Structure 1
Amino acid sequence: MAEKIMVKGNEAMAEAAVRAGCRLYFGYPITPQSEFTEYMARRMPEVDGVFLQSESEVAAVNMVYGAACTGHRVMTSTSSPGFSLMQEGVSYIAGAKLPAVFVNVVRGGPGLGDIQPAQSDYFQSTKGGGHGDYHLIVLAPGSIQEAVDLMETAFRLADNYRVPVMMLADGMLGQMMEPVVFPEFVKLEEINDHSSWALRGADGREPHKVTSFDIDPVRLEEMNTETHKVYEKIRSKEIRFETHDLEDADYILVGYGTMGRILGSVVKTARKQGIKVGLFRPVSLWPFPYDELKKAARGKKFCTVVEMSTGQMVEDVRLSVEGSLPVHFYGRTGGMVPTPDEVFRELVRLIG
């Protein structure tokens, strides 16, 4: 049996990225994810990779853009204000149909905010924070082990669909320590062959062209149409979610990331007191599991969404259930984390 190792979340995600084949990392330190950057500075030379601390997040994302053109596994990590600065570059990467992985360890906002955990970047991540019609695949781990397990998935999805992928964590996940089992290293020679489009030298063939630009609106529309065909394929194949105790539930709690994990404790408490409540935890925030949540909500009396924000994912939950049952919201913001006890009290209050 594989050995469990006690690791901080940021460092665990960084090591998982290395084992997933990432050999190019560009980033800029920002709390509460700075350990990620520090770890990569130490680790990349050990695996013949490239680490470069950029002068800003704007520079980092454009380094990712250039490196992604080569088809090698590349990533950056940041926290909320830093990801805001990256938005133009993210749009360019999506428009150029390039694979790259982003990790956002979310902190309280808006503005400079604070360094405490939050989930207030949901809209930015899932609705496209930059300009134009594009999407990121967004994965939201609920534990350090799940973050480790999803890292290779993130790189594989980026490669398979030639899209940027976001790992959306929060300050709590980044800073906590838990025992994890790391996967084996992927074999670099078995990673997808990108020779049909990557920029790796044109000796003996026609040069490849990687761009998001076309001055002809007809051709640009054709480019966008082809990209959205890929998005439709992702919607049909890459839905991820987790459920607990929904079969006989009267009520349903919905939360993602570490908030979804906290709700698992609420479900256990409620069940011990005879309250039949279940949990639906989206793991893919884009594509969002609309149909799956709609099915899970059938026959329930109401749904309560809990977030570390003033309410963002709750809109997708309401779209999912299409008015078939009441959808309530409970949230804390500014870095405040709802506790299991206060969520349970809110649940009891709603039941009346």
Structure 2
Amino acid sequence: MRNFELMKGNEAIAEAALRAGCRFYAGYPITPQSEILEYMSKNMEKYGGVFIQGENEVASISMLWGAAAAGARCMTSSSGPGYDLKQEGISYLSSYHIPAVIVDAMRFGTGDGEITAGQDSYNLAVRGGGHGDSRQIVLAPASVNECASLTYKAFDLAEKYRNVVIILTDGAISQLVEKCILPEAKEHNIDKFDWTITGKSRNSIKNRITNLDRSIGFDAADEFYINKTKKIYNNEQRWEEVNLENADLILVAYGISSRVSKSAIELAKKEGINLGLIRPISVWPFPNKAFVEAKIKNAKGIVTVEMALIQQMALDVKIASENRKPLYSYLTGRNIPSPEGIVNYCKEIFEGKIKEVEVY
């Protein structure tokens, strides 16, 4: 009997959410994440949960407020312009400090964009969430198996910190089909936390879900948020390292670009070129600890590999590396990078044909 399933990335996200105890999903179809909505519509009832296709993205994320406030594990998903529309909802969820999981399956381009894979929504994912001070935990799977495992973990993190968690995929990972080992199914106790809205007797004190400062006061709310953010930053950095000790250049990539970067490392090795890789698994908090001097001291430079037209993740790399190494960016826009393209770009760096990037 096999212990794996053959699934799309989107399907693995949906099934893992159900197995994590997600019992409320509201969403709206948009490529390349529509299979999440379709899978939830087909399977949520079997788990005793509620599926709603909202009239639009704003309505869908607004429904999460009520489900999350009642203590339910809940999720929505979108892409491109649909994810743009969810920013107000993310802002309110953040101001209430209630947990929710949101999937952003990135597509390339501004406005309507394209239905092709892209990674140019990085800035919105790690620095978005509406106005004001708020940070969302952002996890970036690079395989179908990670689509499942990180989504499963996301619900625990959301509740641990009373925070929004974003699963940041790209169109390629969302549509990728490969083996996936699914986590064990579990039920979630909707009455687990003392802050949720529940039915109470007439004379008892009832919980309110509103901006936290309106229930515990400005100073206490500010302290809660600052301390929470520091804890997340210190405790939840996640990354993978490949061949750092011997690397002349260190690639930094996530999602589909990281898979191609691993192939580039093997290709470069055949040509006598030593490349390494730092793969952020959490893109917020960004894994600054991966860039300590001891890990990157032998490298002659750092190269971000991004499916974007301008450097986005490169800003976080620049901050994390504290400008100790020259920084370059291999940018491919709507095109998935190739191992050959990455290796040739690195060769041109060694030949002095590529200048350091200006991050803007």
Q: Do the aligned partners of residues 231 and 213 (structure 1) sit closer, same or farther apart at CA in structure 2, a change above 3 Å counting?
A: closer
- Residue-pair matches, total: 348
SS at match of 1:193: coil
Q: Does 1:39 align with 2:34?
A: no
Equivalent positions of 1:121-270 (< 5 A) are: 121-189=121-189, 193-194=192-193, 196-203=194-201, 205-212=204-211, 219-270=217-268
Deviations 1:124-176 (A, max 9, x none): 11113411100000000111111111111100000111000000001111112
Structure 2 CA distance for aligned equivalents of residues 134 and 56 of structure 1: 24
Distance apart, 1:223 and its partner CA: 1.5
Q: Which residue of 1 aligns with 2:303?
A: 304
Q: Which residue of 2 aligns with 1:20?
A: 20
Distance apart, 1:224 and its partner CA: 2.8
Structure 2 CA distance for aligned equivalents of residues 128 and 135 of structure 1: 8
8 Å Cα contact 2:278-2:290 kept in structure 1: no
8 Å Cα contact 2:243-2:277 kept in structure 1: yes
Q: Does 1:291 align with 2:289?
A: yes
8 Å Cα contact 2:23-2:48 kept in structure 1: yes
8 Å Cα contact 2:69-2:197 kept in structure 1: yes
Equivalent positions of 1:3-152 (< 5 A) are: 3-152=3-152
Distance apart, 1:11 and its partner CA: 1.1
- Normalising by structure 1, what TM-score? 0.95
Structure 2 CA distance for aligned equivalents of residues 47 and 226 of structure 1: 35
Distance apart, 1:262 and its partner CA: 1.1
Distance apart, 1:341 and its partner CA: 1.2
Distance apart, 1:79 and its partner CA: 0.6
Letter in 1 for 2:296: A
Percent identity over the alignment is 41
SS at match of 2:7: strand
Q: Do the aligned partners of residues 68 and 49 (structure 1) sit closer, same or farther apart at CA in structure 2, a change above 3 Å counting?
A: same
Equivalent positions of 1:307-346 (< 5 A) are: 307-309=306-308, 310-333=310-333, 335-346=334-345
Letter in 2 for 1:344: V
8 Å Cα contact 2:79-2:105 kept in structure 1: yes
Distance apart, 1:192 and its partner CA: 8.4
Structure 1 CA distance for aligned equivalents of residues 142 and 77 of structure 2: 18
Structure 2 CA distance for aligned equivalents of residues 149 and 261 of structure 1: 17
Structural RMSD (CA): 1.7
8 Å Cα contact 2:80-2:107 kept in structure 1: yes
Q: Do the aligned partners of residues 155 and 42 (structure 1) sit closer, same or farther apart at CA in structure 2, a change above 3 Å counting?
A: same
Structure 2 CA distance for aligned equivalents of residues 117 and 140 of structure 1: 14
Structure 1 CA distance for aligned equivalents of residues 191 and 154 of structure 2: 14
8 Å Cα contact 2:16-2:151 kept in structure 1: yes
Distance apart, 1:219 and its partner CA: 3.4
8 Å Cα contact 2:304-2:329 kept in structure 1: yes
8 Å Cα contact 2:81-2:112 kept in structure 1: yes
Letter in 2 for 1:107: R
Detail structure 1 runs of 4+ shifted over 4 Å in the superposition.
213-216
| Structure 2, gaps ≥5 residues long | 352-360
8 Å Cα contact 2:32-2:79 kept in structure 1: yes
Distance apart, 1:213 and its partner CA: 6.6
Structure 1 CA distance for aligned equivalents of residues 143 and 247 of structure 2: 24
Distance apart, 1:348 and its partner CA: 1.1
SS at match of 1:253: strand
Deviations 1:293-321 (A, max 9, x none): 23322231011001011210000101111
8 Å Cα contact 2:245-2:296 kept in structure 1: no
Distance apart, 1:214 and its partner CA: 5.2
| Structure 1, gaps ≥5 residues long | none
- Normalising by structure 2, what TM-score? 0.93
Letter in 2 for 1:336: N
